[in-house]
Each structure stands twice: as structure tokens, then as C-alpha cells.
Structure 1
Amino acid sequence: MLSYVLRRLSGMLVVMAVVATMVFIIVRVVPGDPAAIMLGPDATGADVAALRLKLGLDEPLLVQFGQFLFDLVRGDLGRSIFLDRPVTQALAERAEPTLLLTLMSILVAVAIGVPAGVISAVNRGRFLDQATSSLAMLAASMPSFWLGLLFIQIFAVKLGWFPVAGYGPPGASFLERAGHLVLPAIVLGLISSALITRFTRASMLDVLGEDYVRTGRAKGLGEGVVILKHAFRNALIPILTVVGLTMALLLGGAVVTETMFGLPGVGNLVVSAVLRRDYPVIQGALIVIAGVYVLVNLLIDLAYLLVDPRVRY
């Protein structure tokens, strides 16, 4: 088991090294000079050159890359050009809405997708199966911005059950801020539940045809015991995989939803940084998101050890 964990950790380091290199290159090839953008159209060439010198943008790319890696190893993601504060501080200030939105969304997605997938597989070919599959296809094809606008119009404007947008006033309590996330979490959860439903159904169908499931029924075990204890437990690995990947995707891809609901999350910060060519913020945010993505994958692999004894051996 220890060797398995060490192999996964070494793989994480390689992936993060590749990600850091790709992020540095991609950010630099995007057109636009951050110094010229900061100073505006009325700036002179001397002003732009002086600011580039101050920001270290006049150095060769290899020198910039070496300094970037050195700072990254020390845990220093740089300093935002526009916000004039450390990138880690800027990300930490925006992390709470994004993390809470991700956790609430994945809870909604799992609460809908897993039971729906199990019910669909157990009732294969029947009305429940066809209805569940149709609803999953419909949810997967809905754009998040359209569903979000529809929910805002119905549940926030007409019914007044939820806030229209925002994250609460500065002195708002945790529960009040969480209340602002309920509607966007439902939007993201409904869309994400479609993939979980389809994977759960497919995994359960593979397991329900196994010999040990037929043996359990032949022994007189109740249908609930056969489905939940024998079939569902053995179908968990693909389900855990898709749940973990969905969570990672939600964490890094809720930009549209955050913008639509006016949430001050990491997604909004990244969009602003891209428009301003704020290199340190773009690099830091992408590396943190990639790190979380890789960490979620590691946790999924470790969860396999608990779910399937074969992995431990």
C-alpha cells in the first residue's frame, strides 16, 4: 500500500511540473503587453519600458521561467500587478465562495445522480429507466447560463425564495452567505448529475449481470440487500471516479455561474486577470486549480483502497 501511495505522489509531482511549464508558456504567448495595458493608451514608450523593467518583464524568457520555478518551489505565487498584493492572498480572499459552491453543487449532483442511476439500472428497459435516461440527457444538454437565468427568473424574481445575486453584505453570517449559493449550487448540481447518473447506470448494469448477484438472489436475500450490499458496492469504483472528476471540474470551471450570480469567486478573479494580462494571478490560479485537480485524483485513488480490497493487493 505504501509503494502504491508513493507511486501516486511521484506521478503528482511530474504532472505539476508539466502544468507549471505549460502555464508559463501559454500565458506568455497571449497577445498584449501587461505594462502597456496598465499604463493605458496615453503612456509613452519610456514609461512602458520603465514599468517592464520594474516587473521583470524585460528579462529573457528562460530567466523569467527560472525565477518562476524558484518562487513556486518556495510557495510564492508572485504579486498581482493590478491588485498590488500577493497572489496567494488574492486567491485566499476569493476561495470561500468557490469552495462552498463546489461542495454544495457536488452534494446536489450526487444526491440526484447516484439514486437515479441505480433506479434506472434496476428497472432496465422499463418506464423509469427511459424517463431517467431522458431527463439525464436533457440536463446534460442544458447550458448552465440558460438554466441559471431561468431559475433566477422563477425562484428569485417571481417567488422570492432565493437572492437574485451576490454573496451577502460584508458583515453577513456564514448561513446567510451559504443561502446565496443555494440557487447556483442547484443549477450546477442538476447539470452535473446527468453524467453521474449515466455512469452509475452503466456501472450497475455491468455488476447486476455477475454470478454473485444471481447467487445472492438464489440464496433468498432481499432485493434491497442484493442491490445495495452486493451490486452497488462493487460498482463504486467507476462512480467514485466520475464524482471526483466532476468535483474537480466544478472547482475550476464555475466561471460562467459565478459571473451570472455575481459571486466573488476564483473564476471571476481569473477572468479579470486575463482581461488585464495580470500574469502572476493567471499563473497562480491555474497552478492552484491544477494542484487541486491532481489532489482530488489522488484522493480518489486512495478511496479505491477502501472500496476494493483487490487494489490493496
Structure 2
Amino acid sequence: MTGYLLRRLPSAFGVLLLASFVIFLVLRAVPGDPAATLAGSDSSPDAVAAIRHDLGLDRPLFAQYGTWLADAVRGDFGRSYLIGGSVSDLLGQRIGNTVELTLGALLFAITLGLVCGVLGVTVKNRIGQTLLSAFNSLSLVVPGYVTGFLLVFAFAVTWRVLPPGGHESILADPQIGFQYLLMPALALALPTAAVLARYVKDGLEQALGEDYSRTAKSLGIPPRRLLWRHALPNALPPVLTALGMQVGVLLGGAVVVEAVFAWPGLGTLAEQAVTRRDYPVVQALLLFLVAVFVAVQLLTDIAYALLDPRVRLG
């Protein structure tokens, strides 16, 4: 396993390095000048040029990138153009809330995905199959912000059983925190749950069609035990791969869902930073998302290798 991990680490660092370069260049290609935004619409060209010089934006592009990368390796992502504080401090203030929302959505997605995938194999009547298919299709095609608005209208406006938005730490007050978390986490989780349900169902159908499953049936092993003890563990490796891919989707979707529910996380910070061309904040946010995605993919590959020795031996 150590050799397998050592083979995977260089590619992970290579992806991070390439992503940092692409993020830096793409942001500079986007129309708009942060110096002009800070100076205001009535400012003179000399004032804008002075701000550009103070921010280091008049330096050659590759020199700017080299300085930013060297500082980022040390954990220093610069200072926000808009707020003026340290970008690392800004991320530290918001990151916990986004992690809380993402983990909540991940738990909902795994639970719903497993339940719907297993039901897709065990439910045989036409009505049940139609309902499951409709649920999966709607969860995939309806955007998270639309689901969020529907949940707010139903549970916060019509029935008034949940708060329409805001945040309360679930660690500080689990009961109140769960009420604030429920709707945004569910809106974020449904598309991922539908993807996982499809992988679980396909994996179970394939596992139940293998020779060992037919042998187990002939030996009189109960169907429920065959499903949970034998078929499901063999169906999990592709599900883990899909789950690793979906973590990036959850983090990206959190940007929109946080805006719908006024959730004070990285999404609302990203919205403000993109609007005001706050390069240091946007760069750090995007690089953080890529780093999380790469780390999750690496952990997924390790879990896959532990479940299937052929992967690490290959």
C-alpha cells in the first residue's frame, strides 16, 4: 500500500500545481480591473495606476504568479482587496460553516443513495419502480437553488416548521443547528443521492447475477443476508469512486445553496469576491476547492485499493 500511495502522490501535487497556474491566468483574463473597482468610477487614471502599483498588478504576469505561489506554499494567500484582512483569516472564519454544510449534505446523500439503490433492486412492483425512477430523475435535473426555494416555500413559508435561512452551529446547539442545516443540506444532497442510487442499484444487480450469488441461493442463504452480507460489499468500489467525484460537485453546489439560505460560508464569500474582482480571495477559494477534490480522490483511490487488491498490485 505504501508503494501505491507513493505512486499516486506525485500526480496529486502535479494537478495542484497545474490548477494553481490555470486559476491565476483565467482570473486575469476575466474582464474587469480590481484597481478601478477600488478607486471608484470617478477616479482619475493616475489614481487607478497608483492602486495597481500598490497591489503589484503592474508587475509581469509570471512574476506575480511566482510570488503568489511561493507565498501560498507557506500558507500566506495575501490580503483581500475588498476587506483588507488576511485571506487565510477570512477562509478560516468561513470554512467551518461550509464544511458543516458539505458533511451534512454528504451524509444525506449517502443515506438516500443507499436506500434508493437497495429499493431499486428489492422493490419489484411497477408503482414503486416508477416512484423511485421519478425521484432519481427529478433530483438530477432540478438545480439545487430551485430545490432550495421549494423547500423554503413548503417548510418555512407554508408550514413554518423550519427557519428560512441563517446559521446556528450544530456543535453549539445540536437541535437548533440541525433545523438550520436540514433544508440547505437536503437541497445540496439530492443530485448526489440520485447518482449514488444509480451506482448502488447497478452494482447490486451485477453482484446478484454473479456465480457466487447463484451458488449462495442454491445453498439456501436468505435473500436479505445475500444482499447485505455478500452483494453490497462487492458493489461498493464503483460507488466509492462515484462518491469521490461527487464531493467536488457538493462543494461547487454549496456556493449557490449558501446564497439561497443566507448560509455564512465560503459560497457567500466567493460571491462577494467575484463581484468585486478580489483576486487573492478568489484564487485561494478555487485552489482550496481543487485541493479538497484532489485529496478526496486520493482517499477514494486508497479505499478502492483496500477493497480490491488488484488495484494496488497493478
Task: Tell me the TM-score normalized by structure 1.
Answer: 0.94
Match of 1:253 in 2: 253
Shift of residue 106, structure 1, vs aligned partner: 1.2
Given that 2:102 and 2:185 are in contact with CA atoms closer than 8 Å, whether structure 1 keeps it comes out as yes
Q: Which residue of 2 aligns with 1:173?
A: 172
Query: Given residue 172 of structure 2, which amino acid in structure 1 is its aligned partner?
Result: S
- Do structure 1's residue 230 and structure 2's residue 233 form an aligned pair? no
Residues 236-267 of structure 1 show CA distances to partners (whole Å, capped at 9, x for unaligned) of: 01111122222232123212211010111101
Inter-partner Cα distance in structure 2 for 1:216 and 1:111: 27
Which residue matches 2:119? 119
**Correspondence for 1:8:** 8
What is aligned with 1:85? 85
In the TM superposition, residue 124 of structure 1 has moved relative to its aligned partner by: 6.0
2:306 counterpart letter in structure 1: L
Q: CA separation in 1, counterparts of 2:157 and 2:177?
A: 18
Aligned to 1:108: 108
Q: Deviations over 1:135-189 (max 9, x none)?
A: 21122122222221111111112222111111149xx934334431111112222
Instruction: Determine if contact 1:118/1:200 at 8 Å carries over to the other structure.
Output: yes
C-alpha separation between the residues in 1 aligned to 2:163 and 2:104?
16
- CA distance, structure 2, for counterparts of residue 88 and residue 224 of structure 1: 50
Residue identity matched to 1:146: V
Q: Which amino acid aligns with 2:309?
A: P
Is 1:117–1:199's contact at 8 Å kept on the other side of the alignment?
yes
Paired with 2:273 and 2:308, the residues of 1 have a C-alpha distance of: 43
Greater CA deviation, 176-185 or 121-130?
Answer: 121-130
Judge which range, 2-11 or 118-127, deviates more: 118-127
Q: Secondary structure at the match of 2:22?
A: helix
Deviation at 1:127, TM superposition (A): 4.2
Taking a change above 3 Å as real, the CA distance of residues 237 and 103 of structure 1, as seen in their structure-2 partners, is same
Mapped to 1, the partners of 2:178 and 2:52 lie a distance apart of: 42
Question: Which residue of structure 1 aligns with residue 197 of structure 2?
Answer: 197
Separation in 2 of the partners of 1:274 and 1:103?
Answer: 25
Structure 1 distance, partners of 2:133, 2:158, is: 30
**Any unmatched runs of 5+ in structure 2?**
none
Does residue 25 (structure 1) correspond to residue 25 (structure 2)? The answer is yes
Q: Which amino acid letter does the alignment assign opposite residue 173 of structure 1? A: A
- The two structures have a TM-score, normalised by structure 2, of 0.94
Find the aligned partners of 1:201 and 1:124 in 2 and give their Cα distance.
13
CA 1:174/1:306 → structure 2, altered by over 3 Å: closer, same or farther?
A: farther
Alpha-carbon contact 1:116-1:197 (below 8 Å) kept: yes
Measure how far apart 1:122 and its partner are.
3.6
| Paired residues of 1:167 and 1:177 also in contact (CA < 8 A) | yes
Aligned identity (percent) is 40
Contact 1:80 1:278 in 2 (8 A): yes
State the Cα deviation string for residues 111-134 of structure 1 (Å, max 9, x = none): 111121122124468543333122
- Which position in structure 2 is the counterpart of 1:46? 46
Aligned residues: 311
2:273 counterpart letter in structure 1:
A
CA displacement 1:43-63 (0-9 Å, x = unmatched): 111111111111100101111
RMSD (Å), alpha carbons? 1.8
Structure 1 unaligned spans of 5+? none
Which letter does structure 1 place at the counterpart of 2:263?
A: L
